[in-house]
Chains A and B, each alone.
Chain A
Amino acid sequence: MSVRTLPLLFLNLGGEMLYILDQRLRAQNIPGDKARKVLNDIISTMFNRKFMEELFKPQELYSKKALRTVYNRLAHASIMRLNQASMDKVSTFLKDKVQNSNGRFVLPVSGPLPWGTEVPGLIRMFNNKGEEVKKIEFKHGGNYVTAPKEGSFELYGDRVLKLGTNMYSVNQPVETHMSRGSKNLASRTQENIAPNPLAKEELNLLARLMGGMEIKKPSGPEPGFRLNLFTTDEEEEQAALTRPEELSYEVINIQATQDEQRNEELARIMGEFEILDQPKQSASKGDDLLAMMDEL
């Protein structure tokens, strides 16, 4: 509905992704300089000027599929490589952070209120002159407290809220709920593979957006390395095994669009893609980016 939502969504999910990658890099004892380079490459790609300009243009939200493509591209903007299946899992995990056993998010009925909201439970009545004539309290059922102060909107400042902070700090164990994750993924897959009649339009936007991403070629003899998104290799393999059938697509040759400039950009981007452990079966020519997304 809103044509200004995409930057919020992209930057928030991108930020979450960075927190997770940071935690995983530490957990796997990746050498400091390599870890810093990975994060630096991703952050500089995310905040690349051309990319930001494209992102902030008023436009409709992308579908989940399209957005996942962008993140996948982003995650591979460095020397690091992620197992495809585990990246799917983690995207589910990102959404399913605080859940109870039936899958609903926990919505506490206590805690601080948003700035500008008063503690529920009070009824004030006024006369014609605006003077308060009566005050009644009622039981509202929660246990709330007013916000201590308004969060700062300056570039640096006390935000007051914990929203946007790192939930994956080193001291906390990162849980990977495998069974729940796979169940959710299966149900979400149904949505994801439903044909989107506006796919073509969306993909044109996506092409422009990805054209705005600067790619850093891995320099010199520095080898890429693999990052586990789960604590053990066994879990990584399990993730690959429990990946729903529907998500294992064939690799299809891609025909770039007519536009000259886009051709070059896309060809360059295509060259950067490195898919691990995927069975390569060539099929007839695909349409455009749709095919490329399908293979993720």
Chain B
Amino acid sequence: AAGMFLRLLSDVRWRAANPKWRRMTCSRRSTSSTAEPHPVSLPAQAQVVICGGGIMGTSVAYHLSKMGWKDIVLLEQGRLAAGTTRFCAGIVSTARHVSVELKMADYSNKLYQQLEQETGVKTGYVKTGSISLAQTQDRLISLKRIASSLNVMGIPCEIITPKQVAQLHPLINIHDLVGAMYVPEDALVSSANVSLALATAASRNGVQIHERTSVSHVSVQKGRVTGVETDRGQIQCQYFVNCAGQWAYELGHSGEEPVNIPLHACEHFYLLTHPLKEPLASNLPTIVDPDGRIYIRNWQGGILSGGFEKNPKPLFTEGRNQLEIQNLQEDWDHFEPLLSALLRRMPDLEALQIMQLVNCPESFTPDMRCIMGESPTVRGYFVLAGMNSAGISYGGGAGKYLAEWMVNGYPSENVWPLDLKRFGTLQSSRTFLRHRVMEVMPLMCDLKVPRWDFQTGRQLRTSPLYDRLDAQGARWMEKHGFERVKYFVPPGKDLLDLDQSKTFYKPDWFDIVGSEVKCCKEAVCVIDMSSFTKFEISSTGDQALENLQYLFSNDLDVPVGHVVHTGMLNEKGGYENDCSIARLSKRSFFMISPTDQQVHCWAWLKNRLPNDSTLTMEDVTWKYTALNLIGPRAVDVLSELSYAPITPEHFPSLFCKEMSVGYANGIRVMSITHTGEPGFMLYIPIEYALHVYNEVMNMGQKYGIRNAGYYALRSLRIEKFFAFWGQDLDAFTTPMECGREFQVKLEKGMQFVGQEALLEQKQNGVYKRFTMFILEDHDTDMDLWPWWGEPIFRNGRYVGKTTSSAYSYTLERHVCLGFVQHFDEKTGEELVVTTDFINQGEYEIDIAGQRFQAKAKLYPFSSLFTHRRRKDEVELSGYQRE
């Protein structure tokens, strides 16, 4: 059956001009079952070796060779496009939630459209459009949000009524629909042929392609790729690209230096039918019915329909398993719910005859997003895999970004949401992956609401206070495997259970968080913030200071005991990391970064610090429990517990001091709270954590202390216009663009990474500006809540998107943060954004198609900073008053 399949899905016509390529294709034909003689021997060396001849591998090869890299070898263990790519349903869909994914899909679509003309290989590209159906109002909101994103990107898209759906597709039963989203430019392709077309073009550009060659492991020396070992010999290379799809995890672990690529395969089923009596037109739109968990496309006059069931079947947990591979076959009982959904959607298909139920494993990742980028541990080792069943939609764009990454050192878009370095070793347990992908695969079709947390693979990293907090009603979310408190449910109060709490409107915890915020403002709260990444960098001489001065944008040569907020910038001045660094002594520094920076920041610094035994960097994340004491009474609690004077004169803002708290000595106390509120961060060696927490809670009673969670923290920091790395800031944002010039040592005549780019921006102005928006006519109780990614309109024209939002309990308004750009009205060219441009506009924020008036502000409300402590040196020093 598989043979028949290849013929059906990929009507291959080789017209490759490259003689080497032709020889290989000949051998493909002539020898099908016998052991194949390899006509072309492997080269002894190459610049790049790509492992995997599916859509990802061929796309990377295609784009690399287009960008001018020629010395490339692509190895495929079987045949080109014969793995998941061959069985892929071939739907190119741009309806994506994450903006970078949307851009990848859009690029792929445009690439595939012209690929046949470029290569002469038939790709089966047909622009059919797609219709995503909504059976519920919530689903329709979700679709409207996507539609807003698509529209501002210039991708045609409209929300249509069930009646219009019926006009677009003759077979659909619309009685249970509330609406739908129509994307007319979505397309169908033969994915195998797209892959072969990319291979053909790459081959013409000089890429050598070798089939039936499997990579056994990658050789590494001194943390760099030096070559690959294959079953047909060795190839020396500088770059290795792991595009091994569902085998990428195993391949990553096969070398002496393991590269963790957290993905896991699940079986995926779809149905093929014979043609209808009156064969379906090949340009009939593809139907996605997420509430029914299915997709339906036209296929050879009949249909192809698959879906993402609630009870997926993970496989290959123990690695490649021959019995299981042989065992992959139809499982009709398993497919039954999807078939029911199909027949409910298209009842007329009952008489349609079945051709086959195809079972093709797909790989899924722990967070539903694909994996790309360079390994944090092995330089030159790149990865592109884990497509979560959207391989064909992402193929073109993902290949392009990775190629840019390899050639230029960075891609042309912010790909942090997809970066391999968002994961660490902690996500590479097979048990974890197996459990997590069983949750992830059904999520493909689940409603994606704000503030959603994964339920599997939890309680991995916890603070020593976990049980204590849990017993007090903590509700948890997870970041980088670490459990963090969202909020505390007071005794006697019940919240909705998980499924019912999904909403795009005001959530049920609104008042709970409100009271936590109030307590932070008026008394004192404790937030366990142990998940933050913590490094210690020290040296015997001045090396630490010298190196850090170069790698960080703010001046670190401050008196011992000072804390500095600084960016860790790339050459273009963008934030690779945003952190707080305390100078512990002349020669040692304590650095605090966002939780998910643990791998990225480590790799970034490791690669740039000299390999010098006198300079040491240590990840001390696990050594400290961090408690954030927020609120005007924090100072009282702390001084009672330490008998030390911590009045502003003795302990000004942005200071760090080791002191005793209760019986415990050596607690690192910093006068920062990451929110702009007064208070302290306590970095406590973990064995003292419980003691200090107990002391703080006991002593704090008379000051009205209570526990609080991250939702309160979020509300506080957003109303104060605090940007947060990973949400608001990324590698494409500079300090100039978010009003943080005061955190950059441009005036001090010191060299640092990104300096030139910043100087240029300082001179010429910036092209986007971080702005705060206060929603004006938004009804918190009745209207949809903003989330992030909402388009921003200025005088009716699109100027950018929001990056985060929160309800400000102080302003009693919603606050959105986001970037404003200035596009020329005629040419669309990006222009410099000036303060006047920001201030002289009428703004609207588009939430799921509904626009709300918003007031733009470049500086926070000074009235919110009630407790000034050190003149001009509050955390936000430098922000101008209004």
Chains A and B are bound partners: no
